[in-house]
Structure 1
Amino acid sequence: METTRQTGGCQCGAVRYLARGELGYPHICHCRMCQKAAGNYFLPLAAAKRDHFELTRGEPKWFHSSDLVRRGFCGDCGTPLFYDIPEADFINIALGSLDEPDAVRPLMQSNTDRKMSWFHALDSLPVEPEPETPDRENAIAATNHQHPDNDTKSWPLGEI
């Protein structure tokens, strides 16, 4: 039987990680601390057992958002990566930092008293009628500095 394996990391590639096994309690947290840490309206998280988790490149910086919790992020690009309770046997991974974020579907929501009151109306918002122009898409692709959604031996590519 193949073990589930999730890889991920920050936008610039300075911090990468590997989690083996199923991720537990995939959920969306709406608390104000998670909103601030993510710079967004919520933060999707799931737990990896600490003994099945490893950093494969670099080290995150840590911010103690409370006396009980620290949050790991890339010190170079600022990507939020982890919600960590140091004495727990697990570490929470920010699901958007996974190489395949669609592979882990949140099953719960927490702290919904801070959930945006207008979320129910998102599907009724108009959709932009025109996608990016090919010229703009090509210009972005040609100058993309974002780490790809897979492990690399070195980063940026070509560096040793």
Structure 2
Amino acid sequence: MTAAAENIGGCQCGAVRYRAAGELGYPHLCHCRMCQKAAGNYFMPLAAAKREDFILTRGEPKWFHSSDIVRRGFCADCGTPLFYDVPDADFINIVLGSLDDPDSVKPVMQSNTGRRMSWFHELDALPIEPEPDTPERGNAIAASNHQHPDHDTAYWPTGAST
């Protein structure tokens, strides 16, 4: 378990936002093939919020039933993976990268490691790309950024009512 008074997050475009009070249980990295496909990545970081402590604060996710017992919630507008849900359970799993402060929840376990990439142990040896000498690209991205900020907003996009 990881201690956090409140866990707030949402999708990249801001159409779906959520809040989960209290501790998130079993923060872990799942390496199963379904999670890899759902995340579009090599693993999916998840942690459980008690359903009674979880609320959507903006919008509604779209749901995909990845099996007969599990559904996955994501933003229909930007595609951000948000939830792994077993509807009959008393918890909902939050995709940790969707938290406003993802560094606040450290995984304590890995699951389904039979599908983990065989070369993960080599990552720390990869060279690190140097920072660009000029900030032009970064400034251009910042000037045209449409990503929702890592905090709740009264309106999103700015000036629109939601």
Place the TM-score, normalised by the shorter chain, in its bin: over 0.9
Q: Provide the identity percentage.
A: 77
Is 1:20 aligned with 2:21?
Answer: yes
Q: Where does residue 6 of structure 2 map in the other structure?
A: 5
SS in 2 for 1:137: helix
Map 1:140-159 onto structure 2 (within 5 A): 140-159=141-160
C-alpha RMSD of the superposition: 1.0
Structure 1 unmatched runs, 5+:
none
Three-state SS of the structure 2 residue aligned to 1:34 is helix
Q: C-alpha offsets along residues 19-38 of structure 1, whole Å, 9 cap, x if unaligned? A: 00000000000000000000
Deviation at 1:60, TM superposition (A): 0.1
Matching of residue 58 in structure 1 with residue 53 in structure 2:
no
Which residue does the alignment assign to 2:96? 95
Shift of 1:135: 1.3
The one-letter code of the counterpart of 2:110 is: Q
TM-score with structure 1 length normalisation?
0.97
Q: Map 1:118-129 onto structure 2 (within 5 A).
A: 118-129=119-130
Q: What is the alpha-carbon distance in structure 2 between the residues aligned to residue 43 and residue 135 of structure 1?
A: 32
Provide the residue aligned with 1:37 in structure 2: 38
- Alpha-carbon deviation of 1:159? 1.2
Give the Å deviation of 1:132: 6.9
Specify the code of the residue in structure 2 equivalent to 1:30. H
* Map 1:66-145 → 2, pairs under 5 A: 66-131=67-132, 133-145=134-146
**After TM superposition, what 4+ stretches of structure 1 lie above 4 angstroms from structure 2?**
none
Per-residue CA deviation, residues 62-112 of structure 1 (Å, 9 max, x unaligned), is 000000100000000000000000000000000000000000000000000
If the length of structure 2 is used for normalisation, what is the TM-score?
0.95
SS of residue in 1 equivalent to 2:94:
strand
Distance 1:132 1:10 in 2: 31
SS in 1 for 2:64: strand
